[in-house]
Amino acid sequence: MAPTGEMTAGAGGFIDLHTHILPDLDDGARGWGEALAMAELAASSGTAGLFLTPHWLEGGYAPSPQEVIEAAGAFCERLSQRGLQLKVWPGMEVYLSPEVPRALSAGKLLTLADAGTHLLVELPFAAWPPYAEQVVFELQLAGITPVIAHPERCQPAAADPRRLCALVERGALVQLNAGSLTGRFGRRAQDCAWHLISCGCAHFVGSDAHNPSDRAPGLLEAARALRGALGDEGAGLLLRQNAENLLSGRPVQPLTTEKTAAGGAPGGAQGGSRRGGGSGAQMRGPAGLVRRLLGRFTSA
């Protein structure tokens, strides 16, 4: 059973889908001091829930599911001792390789919230893996929906998001980093992140926090930008509602945009609409910004 804490931040609190807060399992928090400092930063900036997603890579950081669940339980106890009211769920950020489906069937991987439905996966940063489509397909055959972590930070996806949008068309989901939306990871990642939003190929926002200083948790700055571009409903979908949908077994919803409705965006836009089966949130952002981004990436 997934360890839980007590959530009292209210329905408006953010749910951070991607963090490296559990200490000493990967390159994230070092010791409980850093872990709790990060938790305090998250709680004080409006986050109500955290997915605890240490890296997993065969031959590298590779905590077992049991280790992650036990660490999450210990984290919950320390949160309670400090009076920090955050809800947490265990998971992993799994480096996508051809071995991932086999590792999953061998019980080496932890799905998000240990629910057996969604797996957070990370693409290589430098090159598009030729096995990506096959591995996504194999995971889906096993009943798992891949959630692709921060693709905007992956060079080939940022240079040409169409292959990523094609994965979304086939049912994959996408988590953007909050820092990408605000420019923390450079202009290319920022443009790609907003493009993915504009074409309906983004479903979650997470902090991908690694420490309490230069990679700290907190979604407030990104939330302000998202609210400005999408309005409260669209921002809430990415910052909270879709995580709640995932946790409760409801369908994760795509953003819809005027451009998507007009069919002018790359394939993911259409896929997003089909997958969600609903209208999702309407983008009400600065039309010029959206047009500029779409103009940069949309194929003729």
Residues that bind Fe ion (CB under 5 A): 93, 208
* Among 92, 96, 141, residue whose Cα is nearest residue 122: 96
Residue 15 CB, shortest distance to Fe ion, in Å, is 16
**Residue number with CB closer to Fe ion (93 or 191):** 93
Cα distance between residue 56 and residue 95, in whole Å = 6
Element (H, E) at 193: helix 187-198
Cα distance between residue 265 and residue 270, in whole Å = 8
Residue 75 CB, shortest distance to Fe ion, in Å, is 17
The answer to whether 145 and 173 are in contact (CB under 8 A) is yes
Structure tokens, 269: 């836009």
Residue 95 CB, shortest distance to Fe ion, in Å, is 10
Residue 295 CB, shortest distance to Fe ion, in Å, is 31
**Residue number with CB closer to Fe ion (161 or 179):** 179
Residue 28 CB, shortest distance to Fe ion, in Å, is 8
Strand partners of residue 89: 51
Strand partners of residue 31: none
Residue 54 CB, shortest distance to Fe ion, in Å, is 9
Strand arrangement of the beta sheet that strand 14-16 belongs to: 14-16, 47-52, 87-90
Residue 121 CB, shortest distance to Fe ion, in Å, is 11
**Residue number with CB closer to Fe ion (177 or 273):** 177
Structure tokens, 275: 């997958």
**Residue number with CB closer to Fe ion (155 or 282):** 155
**Residue number with CB closer to Fe ion (16 or 208):** 208
Which residue reads 């953003």 in tokens?
A: 255
232, amino acid identity: D
Pairing of strands 173-177, 118-122: unpaired
Task: Name residues whose C-beta falls within 8 Å of residue 295's C-beta, 6 or more positions apart in sequence.
Answer: none
**Residue number with CB closer to Fe ion (202 or 265):** 202
**Residue number with CB closer to Fe ion (94 or 168):** 94
Structure tokens, 180: 């990408």
* Among 213, 231, 246, 181, residue whose Cα is nearest residue 49: 246
**Residue number with CB closer to Fe ion (95 or 297):** 95
Residue 93 CB, shortest distance to Fe ion, in Å, is 5
Phi/psi region, residue 98 (left: phi>0; alpha: psi -120 to 50; beta: rest), is: alpha
Question: Is 212 buried (19+), middle (13-18) or exposed (0-12) by CB count in 10 A?
Answer: buried
